[in-house]
Amino acid sequence: MIYYICTNDCTDAMTTQKVNITDIAQKTGLSTTTVSRVLSGKAKQYRIGKKSQQKVEEAAKEMHYVPNHFAANLRTGKSNTVALILPSLSNPFFASIASEINAEIRRFGYIAIISDSDENPDIEKMELEQLRGRNIEGLVIAPCGDQAEYIKSLNDRGMPVICFDRYFEDLDIPYVSTDNFMGAQIATQHLIDKGHESIACIQGVRSSTPNRLRVKGFVETMENAGLKKHSVVGDDFTVQNGYLETKLLLRQSKRPTAILTLSNTIALGCMKAIKEEGIRIPEDISLITFDEHPYLDYLSTPLSCVAQPVSDISKIAIKFLFAKINNAEFEPSQVLLRPELKIKESVRKLND
Amino acid sequence: MIYYICTNDCTDAMTTQKVNITDIAQKTGLSTTTVSRVLSGKAKQYRIGKKSQQKVEEAAKEMHYVPNHFAANLRTGKSNTVALILPSLSNPFFASIASEINAEIRRFGYIAIISDSDENPDIEKMELEQLRGRNIEGLVIAPCGDQAEYIKSLNDRGMPVICFDRYFEDLDIPYVSTDNFMGAQIATQHLIDKGHESIACIQGVRSSTPNRLRVKGFVETMENAGLKKHSVVGDDFTVQNGYLETKLLLRQSKRPTAILTLSNTIALGCMKAIKEEGIRIPEDISLITFDEHPYLDYLSTPLSCVAQPVSDISKIAIKFLFAKINNAEFEPSQVLLRPELKIKESVRKLND
DNA sequence: ATATTTTGTACAAACGTTTGCGCAAAAAAT
DNA sequence: ATTTTTTGCGCAAACGTTTGTACAAAATAT
């Protein structure tokens, strides 16, 4: 009769963090030096014999060795850690980018420290300072505010830094973002093509580059078309801002015929106000927004939007990041990706 | 005449990770011991004199000292790091919970390593093993699959472990989740109250506890009402699954009059199929779903749902986690929070 | 004045790696 | 048979903290 006894040894070994390089050295009769060299993949470089190599690898597997990152980092300075800082995780746009970027980073064997600066430059700076103690090897950031000093100084000092979405136009800090000017332009042009002449734009954080460029795209397109009746209102990428500003717009004696919202959060607030006031999209007012979202297709009126290539932004940013981490010579560039106009049903054709 | 020369010294000091405890010791003429004790807040405990204390603190501030976590961890074993593992970051439910939990964790001065197991137990286990090298102090996990061994063994060994959303019913691993049975029950009862008798339920990952309990809640409520015409279909918490299963349901000769979807992703797929087939909610078919979402109110038909207390789940989980981290004696319990039925317009009253 | 306690500080080892350098044995070249 | 080269491996220091122990000086008690 055969008994299968579950000694539980395997799980035991795996959940107790104990075995280190010295244990393996003891077990194999080799030195910690040799063990370390094998385990860190430098066997060839240091000409470790085939036999020793094998012995070490077997022992490591058998004993469920897992290297202690902290010890290794202390010695080498390599933390296998990067920071991801963004202005607001509660904004679905940033949340989905964070998910993607985090996944990419993990794929490289690194971890990401994710921080929410809450659109507050002071918090951002504090986080950045805290992070020094974690010896981060790179920084992926959508900076809030327009103070670039600190970030620039990190970049100048050779720390791999990539801005995404938010960035600084005049500095040579690499970034990946959407062509925000073009995005606003095509959205506005779409409205104009449909016969709209009185258009309001609800903006987000004014000091941010994307917002500035979107507003610029909006204004220039309007003026190029000879349209003077445009207003730009608002000051935050939040639902609340969208709601408030829309309420105000709708109370005007002469309502705009269309609204362009510069983010999905603003659009959400805008829709809330519109619904409350009992007016209809697009019959009474047209709406188009920045940012795509899976739900847009199923809204009472499917919402036309300017889609940002979230996935591409994430991938390129991380590609740059690790190219730079692995080769300090590499110089990531500044790229703007094409947005895409997705026409649905929220813009009405005006007959004049 | 006065010149203001920006020496840039400040930013310099802050972006170059160099100054350590020894530098401060030198500058103050004290020993590293004393400096360490002051800086780690153990001045009283070790009776450091007021004067020395002040000198150290001033020097530290002046030199922009930031402690090296890696060195400290190597010595103490405290990593100030916890792991957050969940099945799918692309599911908005988990994404929003991840955001909240991450923020809470950062608030405690810890960092979170966020991993997506992609509903794959093997990946989950791999991640868990990798994480050992990071010396994590705690684990917050929505385990995929029903293999609890590894997690249980971590828990038994004193590692603070909190499951959220997904959990193991028969084990004494602490968890925080929604009362899924009740959630399904109230949703189903709502449908029944509205006169529905033929109801289909599109489920998610079958082996998961929440799914099992939701299905149980659905089935029991139906049978208690004497209704036999219920079917449970599907096998994944994805948009695709919702889409496919709805397509199949709608092709049946005898359609159900209502559908209960067990997640927001499934609901999204379901709506897609419904829209494609050109049928209307709630006139042709009623729909109710698990999970809330800001957009639900603005859908072509605002979607009734069972809202999970995402924010409370996150907060309680983290509260438990740190209670346990800071006091090994503490025993987190197993809690289920009340879901809330939010009635909108997607369920029609049937007149029989 | 001496013994005891309290106060304030420092020495040195330890945490688990990595790595420059050195050295012996084996192989190859002379 | 000797010299040179190659191959294989180990010693020991270093990374920046924390902490048990020790000890002198000051304060207090006898």
Question: Tens of pLDDT along B152-197?
Answer: 999 998 899 999 999 999 999 999 999 999 999 999 999 999 999 9
B169 CB-near residues (< 8 Å, 6+ apart): B209
Q: How confident is the model at residue A133 (pLDDT cuts 50, 70, 90)?
A: confident
Per-residue pLDDT tens digits for A181-194: 999 999 999 999 99
Give me the B residues in range 56-115 that sit within 7 A (CB) of strand D: 65, 67-68, 71-72, 74-76
- CA A56 to C1' D7, whole Å: 18
Q: Is the pLDDT of residue A7 over 50?
A: no
Dihedral sign computed on CA atoms, order A295, A298, A299, A302: positive
Report the residue of chain A nearest B11, measured CA to CA: A150
The reply to whether A53 has its C-beta less than 7 Å from any atom of strand C is no
What pLDDT sits at residue A3?
Answer: 36
Residue A130: the pLDDT is: 86
**Between A202 and B127, residue with greater pLDDT:** A202
Nearest to A208 by CA among A188, A240, A234: A234
Degrees (nearest 5) of the Cα angle B130, B135, B136? 90
What's the pLDDT band for B9 if we cut at 50, 70, 90? very low
Note the pLDDT of residue A1. 36
Kindly determine whether the C-beta of residue B126 is less than 7 Å away from any atom of nucleic acid strand D: no
Q: Which residue has the tokens 């929220």?
A: A346
Which chain A residue has its CA at the smallest distance from B131's CA? A66
Paired tokens of B73: 């961890």
Q: Which residues of chain A from 223 to 242 reach within 8 Å of chain B, CB to CB?
A: 239
Q: Which of B218, B273, B219, B280 is nearest to B248 (CA)?
A: B273
CATH of region B80-178+310-339: 3.40.50.2300
Segment A294-321 shows an average pLDDT of: 96
Q: What is the pLDDT at residue A89?
A: 87
Of B67, B103, B135, the CB nearest to A133: B67
Q: How far is B80 from chain A (nearest CA, A)?
A: 10
Residue B145 has what pLDDT? 85
Q: At what angle do helices B209-224 and B180-193 cross, to 10 degrees?
A: 30
Tell me the one-letter amino acid at A154.
Answer: L
Beta sheet of B258-261, edge-to-edge order: B230-233, B199-202, B258-261, B286-290, B304-307, B340-342
pLDDT average, residue stretch A102-115: 93
Residues of B in contact with A132 (CB under 8 A): 14, 17, 66
pLDDT category at A14 given cuts 50, 70, 90 is low
Provide, as residue numbers in chain B, all residues whose Cβ is less than 8 Å from the Cβ of A135.
Answer: 17, 68-70
A76 interface with B at CB cutoff 8 Å:
no
The structure tokens listed for A209 are 């580059």
Q: What is the pLDDT of residues B257-284, one digit of tens each?
A: 999 999 999 999 999 999 999 999 999 9
Q: Where are the domains of chain A?
A: 9-67, 80-178+310-339, 180-308
DSSP code for A198: S
More confident residue, B328 or A39: A39
**What integer pLDDT is reported at residue B5 of this predicted model?**
34
B21 closest CA partner among B67, B80, B79: B67
Please check whether strand C approaches the CB of B10 to within 7 Å: no
Chain B residues with beta carbon closer than 8 angstroms to that of A90 = 96, 99
Beta bridge partners of A141: A85, A163
With 0-12 / 13-18 / 19 or more C-beta atoms within 10 angstroms meaning exposed / middle / buried, residue A156 is middle
CA distance B66 to chain A (A): 6
CA pair distance A43, A36, nearest whole angstrom: 9
Q: How many contacts (CB atoms, under 8 Å) link A and B?
A: 146
The pLDDT-based confidence of A4 (bands split at 50, 70, 90) is: very low
Which residues of chain B does A113 touch, with a Cβ-Cβ cutoff of 8 Å? 111
Choose the closest CB to B114 out of A8, A102, A159.
Answer: A102
Q: Do B295 and A295 touch (CB under 8 A)?
A: yes
* Residue A291 pLDDT greater than 80, yes or no: yes
The reply to whether A22 Cβ lies less than 7 angstroms from strand C is yes
pLDDT > 60? residue A135: yes
Residues of chain B found within 8 Å of residue A114, distances taken between Cβ atoms:
102, 106, 112, 114
User: Which residue is listed with tokens 């102090």?
Assistant: B137
Three-state DSSP at B284 gives coil
Nearest to A107 by CA among A310, A322, A311: A322
What does the alpha-carbon distance between residue B14 and residue B65 come to, in Å, rounded to a whole number? 8
Rounded to a whole number of angstroms, the distance from the CA of A179 to the nearest CA of chain B is: 25
Is some CB atom of chain A closer than 8 A to the CB atom of B135?
Answer: yes
- Round and report the angstrom distance from CA (A46) to C1' (D8): 9
pLDDT in tens, A214-272: 999 999 999 999 999 899 999 999 999 999 999 999 999 999 999 999 999 999 999 99
Name the band, by pLDDT with cuts 50, 70 and 90, for residue A11: low
B46 touches strand C (CB under 7 A): yes
Going by their DSSP bridges, the two strands B161-164 and B175-178 should be labelled as: parallel
Strand order in the sheet with A286-290: A230-233, A199-202, A258-261, A286-290, A304-307, A340-342
Nearest to A202 by CA among A146, A252, A270: A270
Is strand C within 7 Å of residue B51 (CB)? yes
Average pLDDT, stretch A105-125?
A: 93
Mean pLDDT across the stretch A317-333? 93
Classify domain B9-67 at the CATH superfamily level. lambda repressor-like DNA-binding domains (1.10.260.40)
* Chain D positions with any atom < 7 A from a protein CB: 7-12, 14-20
- For residue B317, what is the enclosing H or E element? helix B310-326
Output the distance from B20 CA to D28 C1' rounded to whole Å: 39
- Is any Cβ of chain B less than 8 angstroms from the Cβ of A136? no
Whole-number Å distance between alpha carbons of A24 and A174: 44
Spatial CA neighbour of A167 closest among A143, A139, A138, A140: A143
> What amino acid is encoded at A73 in this protein?
N
Architecture of domain B180-308: 3-Layer(aba) Sandwich (3.40)
Section B131-144 average pLDDT: 93
Q: Give ipTM to 2 decimals.
A: 0.86
Mean pLDDT of A199-203: 98
Q: Are A330 and A173 in contact (CB under 8 A)?
A: no
Chain mean pLDDT for chain A: 92
Residue numbers in A near B130 (CB within 8 A): 66
Q: Is some CB atom of chain A closer than 8 A to the CB atom of B17?
A: yes
Residue pair B134/B317 in contact by the 8 Å Cβ criterion = no
Best interface-test mutation with B: which of A116, A295, A296, A297 has the largest number of B CBs within 10 A? A295
pLDDT bin (cut points 50, 70, 90) of residue A17 is low
